[in-house]
């Protein structure tokens, strides 16, 4: 029966990938505020240590693991360690990601593959590693971090758009294949959010900065705070009948054709 408790995450183990900082860190802190136990990974010891310290500053005792999410052996080993240290993963957020902004015909196949590897192959690898225990436990939540580029293209982000478009369909397929085991797999599609990943686009003189504000009905860049409530909703019992959905948290970008130029 629906109640305020429906949004609580007490007793749940939440594993957020690439969560030493940025969106992943914010989502994990939101989960912790609703009672979840936080485990995260990052690509090296320095980032993991930085993340543990940052979580501690928020009053959160998080467990951090060094793991490259593109390496299936490392992922399988890390998930086994998490299950030993904290218990089976109840909530997985496939957050780790990279972007390379290069005009397509100038982009090497190696660079294209690297983006696909982190942004699409890795979510497959990590979800594959946690689903068996979710099935045994009677269910779980998987949240893939998609993008505006799951729906739209733009110059220089061909690999990223291909990956995030694929991630949308992987989300729908996991929902389809494992929904019968009470596993809900959804995505969050952030708009343009103030994080290190978009910092190069937000320098005061960068034309993209003004462009994005004009393309966003909310008239601003998003913040990681804007994503925490939607993530808690998708991680909680309040969304047990939501499956295969990409929840776009974009200030209205995808709904908006754009403002008529002033001189028309
Ligand atoms: P970010 O600041 O670049 O953080 C990404 C995190 O993932 C970093 O900690 C990074 O570690 C880690 N990571 C990268 N490759 C990894 C690997 N192979 N194994 C483990 N960890 C790895 O990015 P963000 O802005 O927080 O974005 C997080 C997610 O949201 C990404 O999937 C991104 O595509 C998506 N997204 C972002 C926006 C936005 O506007 N910021 C909008 C829509 C979607 P390193 O520091 O070592 O790279
Ligand atoms: C870019 C940005 C975007 C954001 C995000 C938008 O270069 O266009 O980095 O891709 O990261 O994915 O949803």
Per-residue pLDDT tens for 103-140? 999 999 999 999 999 999 999 999 999 999 999 999 99
Share of the chain above pLDDT 70, in %: 100
State if residue 149 touches ligand 2 by the CB under 6 angstroms criterion. Answer: yes
Q: Which of 55, 68, 94, 98 to mutate to test the pocket of ligand 1 (most atoms within 8 A of CB)?
A: 98
Average pLDDT of every residue of the chain: 97
Average pLDDT over residues 90-101: 98
Residue 33 confidence (pLDDT): 98
Tens digits of residue pLDDT in 25-56 = 999 999 999 999 999 999 999 999 999 999 99
pLDDT score recorded for residue 184: 98
Q: What b/e readout covers 211-226, taking b as 16+ CB neighbours within 10 angstroms? A: ebeebbeeeebbebeb
pLDDT at res. 263: 81
Q: Which pLDDT does position 1 carry in this prediction?
A: 92
**Predicted confidence (pLDDT) at residue 177 exceeds the cutoff of 80:** yes
Instruction: Give the separation between CA 119 and CA 165, rounded to whole angstroms.
Output: 10
What is the band of 205 on the pLDDT scale with cuts at 50, 70, 90? confident
Instruction: Reply yes or no on whether the pLDDT at 222 is more than 70.
Output: yes
**Distance between CA atoms of 120 and 170, rounded to whole angstroms?**
8
Decide: residue 199, CB within 10 A, 0-12 exposed, 13-18 middle, 19+ buried. exposed
Percent of the chain with pLDDT over 90: 96
All domains in the chain, ordered by first residue: 4-194+223-248 (3.40.50.720)
Burial, 2: exposed, middle or buried (Cβ in 10 Å; 0-12, 13-18, 19+)?
A: exposed
Identify which ligand lies nearest to the alpha carbon of 188: 1
Q: Please work out whether the CB of residue 159 comes within 6 Å of at least one atom of ligand 2.
A: no
Span from the CA of 166 to the centroid of ligand 2 (angstroms): 15
With bands split at pLDDT 50, 70 and 90, how would you rate the model's confidence at 264?
Answer: low
Whether the CB-CB separation of 35 and 8 falls below 8 Å is answered with yes
CA neighbor of 229 nearest in space, from 143, 152, 162: 143
Is the model's pTM score more than 0.85? yes
Rounded distance between C-alpha atoms, residue 93 and residue 89, angstroms:
10
Ligand 2 pocket residue status of 206, Cβ below 6 Å: no
């Amino acid at each position: 029966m629906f109640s305020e408790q429906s949004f609580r995450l007490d007793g749940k183990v939440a594993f957020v990938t690439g969560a030493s900082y940025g969106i992943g860190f914010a989502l994990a802190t939101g989960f912790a505020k609703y009672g979840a136990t936080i485990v995260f990974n990052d690509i090296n010891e320095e980032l993991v240590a930085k993340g543990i310290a940052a979580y501690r500053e928020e009053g959160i005792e998080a467990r951090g693991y060094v793991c490259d999410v593109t390496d299936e052996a490392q992922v399988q080993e890390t998930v086994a360690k998490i299950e030993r240290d904290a218990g089976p993963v109840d909530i997985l957020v496939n957050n780790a990601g990279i972007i390379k902004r290069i005009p397509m015909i100038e982009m090497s196949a190696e660079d294209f593959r690297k983006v696909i590897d982190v942004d699409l192959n890795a979510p497959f690898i990590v979800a594959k590693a946690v689903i068996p225990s979710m099935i045994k436990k009677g269910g779980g939540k998987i949240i893939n971090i998609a993008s505006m580029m799951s729906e739209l293209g733009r110059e220089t982000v061909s690999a990223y758009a291909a990956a995030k478009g694929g991630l949308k369909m992987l989300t729908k397929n996991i929902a389809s294949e494992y929904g019968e085991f009470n596993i809900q797999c959804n995505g969050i599609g952030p708009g343009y959010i103030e994080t290190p990943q978009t910092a190069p686009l937000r320098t005061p003189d960068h034309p993209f900065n003004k462009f994005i504000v004009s393309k966003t009905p909310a008239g601003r860049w998003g913040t990681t705070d804007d994503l925490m409530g939607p993530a808690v909703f998708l991680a909680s019992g309040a969304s047990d009948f939501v499956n295969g959905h990409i929840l776009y948290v974009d200030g209205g970008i995808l709904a908006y054709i754009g403002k008529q130029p002033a001189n028309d």
